[in-house]
Structure 1
Amino acid sequence: MAVAKRATAALAHLKKIREVSKCSAALRGAAVEGDAGGGGCGCGSGRTGMSVRRCRVVVVGGGVSGLAAADHLAAHGQRDFLLLEARSRIGGRVVAIPLGSQRVELGANWIHGVLGNPMFELAIANGLVDVLNSPKPHRVIAATELGRQVPFDLLQEIYEAYVCFLKRCEEYFICQYLPPPDINSVGEHINLETALYLDKIPESEEKRMRRLIFECLLKRETCISGCHSMNEIDLLELGSYTELQGGNIVLPSGYSAILEPIVRRIPPENIIKSCPVKTIRWGTVTGSIQSPTDSGIDDPGNESDDSDKTVIDDSPNATPLEGGAKPLEHLKHKLRPANVEIVCENGDIIHADHVICTLPLGVLKEQASAIFQPPLPKYKTESIERLLYGTVDKIFLYYDRPFLNPTISEVLMLWEPHSDDPTDIPANWYRKIYSFSKVSDTILLGWISGKEAEYMETLPSETVSSKCTEILRKFLNDPFVPEPQKCVCTSWHKQPYSRGSYTAIAVGASQIDIEQIAQPLYTNRQKKPTMLFAGEHTHSNFYSTVHGAYLSGRTAAQQLLLPEEGQEVVLECNETSDLSTWIQGMSMQ
């Protein structure tokens, strides 16, 4: 009688599970049909209903690191995953828009280095690099506010000295000696070297010009490093960034062309756009429905026969039924708990075994305490706070006809010194623009960083356009420089899903902070991580780069694909012919 009662109860429970499964599947189907933008659970599609679904892996963020993780899973036959992207597009900080008859890159611009760079290998493999095209000669001029052009020999002299100063800063990371007392930042060290260099030169107009060039190059360095001032960048950690050999490569079709090869293998139905994540609950979520798809990623090894996750009696002493079968053996089913619950802003819920979080560092700084439940470990939140996440913006000026001398490719602006008082930024923000360079004969590109960039984002494009025209007329000493037909400014700080541009190691932070953010988190007795982290801010050598983001995404996905028991390791380099994939495979072991 007891067995019969248990059998009846189990059948009723199974029936309930099937009904919930059908309901969840129906919601999934309705969501896919209702999202014309390529999407999944229907987040952002205007629905007010709530759906609940289950998958093995959720990738939060559809930037390059998230796409690389999803591509790596798909390439190895793991299809039971979802990629959630808050924007209506994928790519994150890799994005292009049309401007006139051309396209301009609002985010990543160059492939930094050739040897060992997976982005270069990907571009070569997909015909995105024109190996026969010889680059145009790059002629740079530097001019003062009075329109006086600096002799090129003087510009070259100071540039070579500056590069030497910068390399000395990088050496502190690998050498045993310490910098001079009270010199903690790159800016302080370069200013000290500059002062010593200029002390040898008697007071003159040429000495003043040299000082202005050094200051211009420091402004340029803030755009490279992603900071407001080089006084923010830790001197001892500058060398932690690994520069790949081969220079900066520009793709003829633009950097955003690299997205298509990355996305190609990802099933479109696995990408859910316009789906901001509100909460990530990482820990066992009871009562989750068994995923119907076996992805090949091992189940969490934390179930036991006597746990409350087992919903039927499967003891060896159970009374046999007709035919010798044990009670309900053919209907045996276990409720497998989810380790993660993702709550989307529209109320949709996704249960998963693992989550790969690729939220940018700027978003983590602003929202980590609200997103993660329970809160992230203290060591991780402290590292998030210590690292720097600055703003670098672009200003595109589009003209209906060329006006700049065709032999000139870039104009450096040598601004006179002015107050560094933050209250002066509204009046002097434009003085942080260090150069205008040619994107084409009819498009100029200006760079601006830090607090001035953040202020610029608050201004109408017409105001920025007029100010840039005023600047060009002044430094080129040409009152007939035309107004641009259109001015496009990026706004990476204002964007809610980036909140800045890229990562730098601030004074007091270190490479260890990047490694601590990248550290995966486990729950219960799981052998594989519950939550993994990826993004350029999680790569300790290639932070601030697209290839760092890409490699971190692949590494996170690979951790979920590795067998739980030790097996023979075979390193494969099927996708590329270069060294980086082999090295990356080694680092995963």
Structure 2
Amino acid sequence: MGLGLPSLFLLPLLLGVLFWIAEAAHPCDVITGGYSNWIGSAINKDVVIVGGGISGLSAMKKLLEEQVTNAVILEAQDYLGGRVKTYRQGSILVEDGAEWIHGGSRNPLYQLANSLGMLTQPLADSAYDWRVKTSTGTQASEAGYNVAEQVFFECEKGSVIQNYYNTAIGQCYKDKFGSFYNNGKTLAGEKSAWLHYLNMFVLRDVGLNDWMKESGRDFDQFTSFGGEDKLNQWSQGYDALTNNLKSSIPQDKIKLSTPVCKIFWESDPNGKALVVTSTKEAYLTDYVLVTASIGHLQERHLQLFDPPLPASYQNNLNRLELGLADKIHLGWSSPWWKALNPKPLDMQVIFKVFDLPTEESWLYGVMEVMGVHQQLNLLQAFVNGDYAQKMENLSDDDVKRHILKFLRRVTGQTVPEPTFFRRSQWGKNVWVRGSYSSYITVSGDQAGLKSRNPLSVPITNSYGNKVIHWAGEHTNGTRYGTVDGALGSGTRAAVRIINDM
């Protein structure tokens, strides 16, 4: 039976109500009432750590080393590690989040993994089945790839990027690409395709949503350890780091599936903070260390903090953006791309034509399909920014169907149905709302945020107590967007708390 006129009139109202209900269904919306409703049942703690990611775990480890034992980690999700999330299925191992140890031996994680006998050395370029293809399956110019790679590293030079402090790093890539491409032995018909490829290359490697958004000044503050292209890995999965940190923390100091919903930081007459969780537990504490992602903080800080954070801090929070990078993983019983003497596939893809159906347009964000963790039968593709958002809004079946159609078109080969499929959806995760790298926007820089230092400064209440401390990759001014940066920020925050006690 069709809809009558009254039903049609009410349909927008009904959809609006349903939308409101969906938006209201945040796990923390069950928590109501003020300080006085919760103080009576509060458990006393010296330190409450909000978040059991790498920064939260490293902070707890440091506190315990300094004999600060009356502390607890409250983690919203049902696992530790945050954006370090390893998934296993039988012999298959994939990383939903962090995957590589960047920077070689100068990275402290390299040293730790090596000392534990868990460091995987990268394969030589010759070990890969390396291809450069167009989206329609024809051979693309390798010279175009060389230009994109040269431009990428050119805009990492301090002497170059300093000229872009007052604009976006994307402008550097655009400018240098034009001069490099025109001077090289490259195909004129592929120029726009390789510029798009470079754009996607940057979004993936730097962790941006839009290369015209990150401030050149912010980009230049990142400290490279050198050898950033040396892609070492944890041989048994990145969660080996999580497990290593967790091993020194007593189990009773970690509470999983315990989202923090309210932090009252001005209400206690003794100048302490009261932390309330969705499980209706309350903790009265001298120090709250907040390690949540900046994506979550931007979305929920007005509901989380009572009273609201100082206006200056709120403004600085909104002068950053958290990038979105998702992965798609596919596995087969054997490598279909080559029957004899197969190698891990590493295929670069450019789009000379943008002719995909609208629902498949997220594939324009795929610029490389490559092997996973040196497992011969697995492939992965990154999808970034707006393209990742489009992908997240599709069903698993649609994403799998689209990527298989794409692979068949690009390779011209028979690609069987995979025996393994997985994709991440970091944007839909209410506790993260993004992936591995935050960045100060051009508008944020112009509004006065010239570095990330203000984001790591503790908040002092009217009683003169530094009750709120900060950690997480976005608070690390020189190694943001990295796991070692998150690790260091947690240790730094713990030292500040210890020194203030």
How does the TM-score come out when normalised to structure 2? 0.84
Matched residue type, 1:414: I
CA displacement, residues 356-402 of structure 1 (integer Å, 9 cap, x when unaligned): 00011000110011101111111211111111112100000121221
Amino acid at match of 1:270: K
Alignment of 1:111 onto 2:101:
yes
Q: Which residue of 2 aligns with 1:554?
A: 491
Task: Report the equivalent of 1:92.
Answer: 82
* Alpha-carbon distance, 1:126 to partner: 2.3
Partner of 2:146: 157
Determine if contact 2:345/2:379 at 8 Å carries over to the other structure. no
Mapped to 2, the partners of 1:349 and 1:467 lie a distance apart of: 47
Aligned pair partner of 1:481 in 415, 423, 426: 415
Alpha carbons 1:280, 1:371 under 8 Å: kept: yes
Taking structure 1 as reference, are residues 248 and 505 closer, same or farther at Cα in structure 2, changes over 3 Å only? farther
**What SS is found at the alignment partner of 1:562?**
helix
CA shift digits 1:439-461 (9 cap, x unpaired): 12211101100111112112111
- Alignment partners' CA distance in 1, 2:296 and 2:153: 36
Q: 1:551: Cα distance to partner?
A: 0.4
**Does the aligned pair in 2 maintain the 1:357–1:532 contact within 8 Å?**
yes
The 5 A counterparts of 1:343-492 are: 343-405=276-338, 406-418=342-354, 426-439=359-372, 440-478=375-413, 480-492=414-426
The Cα of 1:476 is off from its aligned counterpart by 0.8
Instruction: Name the residue aligned to 1:506.
Output: 441
Partner of 2:257: 274
Check conservation: 2:218, 2:451, Cα contact below 8 A: no
> 5+ unaligned residues in a row in structure 2: which ranges?
1-30, 32-37
Q: Secondary structure at the match of 1:266?
A: coil
Report if the CA contact (8 A) 1:384-1:513 is conserved. Answer: no
Moved more, 500-509 or 434-443: 500-509
Query: Is the alpha carbon distance of 1:130 and 1:104 closer, same or farther for their aligned partners in structure 2, counting shifts above 3 Å?
Result: closer
Other-structure match for 2:275: 342
The equivalent position to 1:167 in structure 2, one of 139, 143, 156, is 156
Given residue 413 of structure 1, which amino acid in structure 2 is its aligned partner? V
Instruction: After superposition, give the CA deviation of every residue in 1:246-270 in whole Å (9 maximum; x if it has no partner).
Output: 4331111111111111111111101
User: Residues 454, 134 of structure 1: CA spacing in aligned structure 2 closer, same or farther, 3 A cutoff?
Assistant: closer
- What SS does the corresponding residue of 2:201 show, helix, strand or coil? helix
Amino acid at match of 1:489: R
Give the partner amino acid of 2:151. Answer: Y
Alpha-carbon distance, 1:156 to partner = 5.2
Aligned residues of 1:492 and 1:500 also touching (Cα < 8 A): yes
8 Å Cα contact 2:147-2:180 kept in structure 1: no
Q: 1:411 to 1:471 in 2, by over 3 A?
A: same
**Amino acid of the structure 2 residue aligned with 1:518:** S
- Structure 2 vs 1, CA of residues 238 and 425 (structure 1 numbering), >3 Å: closer, same or farther? farther
User: Per the alignment, do residues 384 and 513 of structure 1 end up closer, same or farther by CA in structure 2, a change over 3 Å counting?
Assistant: farther
Give the counterpart of 1:220 among 201, 220, 230: 201
- Change in CA separation of 1:51 and 1:402 when aligned onto 2, cut-off 3 Å: farther
- Aligned identity (percent) is 25
Quote how far apart the aligned CAs of 1:436 are: 0.8
* 1:525 shift after superposition: 5.2
Residues 192, 352 of structure 2: 8 Å contact kept: no
Kindly indicate whether the alpha-carbon contact (under 8 Å) linking 1:356 and 1:532 is maintained by their aligned counterparts in 2: yes
Aligned residues: 452
Preserved CA contact (<8 Å) 2:147 2:184: no
Aligned to 1:192: 175
| C-alpha contact (below 8 Å) 1:147/1:476 kept by paired residues | yes
- C-alpha separation in 1, matches of 2:477 and 2:129: 34
Rounded to whole Å, the distance in 1 between the matches of 2:363 and 2:477 is 33
Relative to structure 2, which stretch is displaced further, 408-417 or 508-517?
A: 508-517
Contact 1:171-1:239 at 8 Å conserved across structures? no
**Alpha-carbon distance in 1 for matches of 2:344, 2:109:** 30
Q: Which residue of 1 aligns with 2:236?
A: 253
1:453-508 Cα deviation digits (max 9, x unpaired) = 11211211111111111111111122x11121232110000011111113122223
Question: For residues 278 and 408 of structure 1, do their structure 2 counterparts lie closer, same or farther at Cα, with a shift above 3 Å needed?
Answer: closer
Gaps (5+ residues) in structure 1?
1-42, 44-48, 287-336, 565-589
Indicate conservation of the 8 Å contact 1:386/1:513, yes or no. no
Q: Is the contact between residue 222 and residue 230 of structure 1 (CA under 8 Å) also seen in structure 2?
A: yes
Match of 1:488, SS state, is strand
Residue 542 of structure 1 aligns with which residue?
Answer: 479
Equivalent of 1:522 in 460, 463, 467: 460
Q: Cα 1:368–1:417, aligned 2, differ >3 Å: closer, same or farther?
A: farther
Separation (CA, whole Å) in 2 of partners of 1:143 and 1:134: 22
Checking the alignment, whether the CA contact within 8 Å between 1:462 and 1:487 is kept in structure 2 is no
**Contact kept in structure 2, 1:185 and 1:231, CA below 8 Å:** yes
Q: In structure 2, how many angstroms separate the alpha carbons of the residues matched to 1:75 and 1:419?
A: 58
Q: What SS does the aligned partner of 1:446 have?
A: strand
Change in 2 beyond 3 A, CA 1:442/1:241: same
1:285 aligns with 2:268: yes
TM-superposed deviation, 1:352:
0.3
User: CA separation in 1, counterparts of 2:156 and 2:462?
Assistant: 47
Secondary structure of the 2:477 match is coil
Judged with a 3 Å threshold, the aligned counterparts in structure 2 of structure 1 residues 388 and 563 are, in CA distance, closer, same or farther, namely closer
Cα deviations by residue, 1:104-135 (Å, 9 ceiling, x for unpaired): 1111001112344222222223222257x966
Q: Which residue of 2 aligns with 1:569?
A: none
* Larger helix proportion of the pair: 2
| Cα offset, 1:138, TM superposition | 4.1
Q: Which moved more, 1:554-563 or 1:193-202?
A: 193-202
SS at match of 1:436: strand
AA aligned opposite 1:189? C
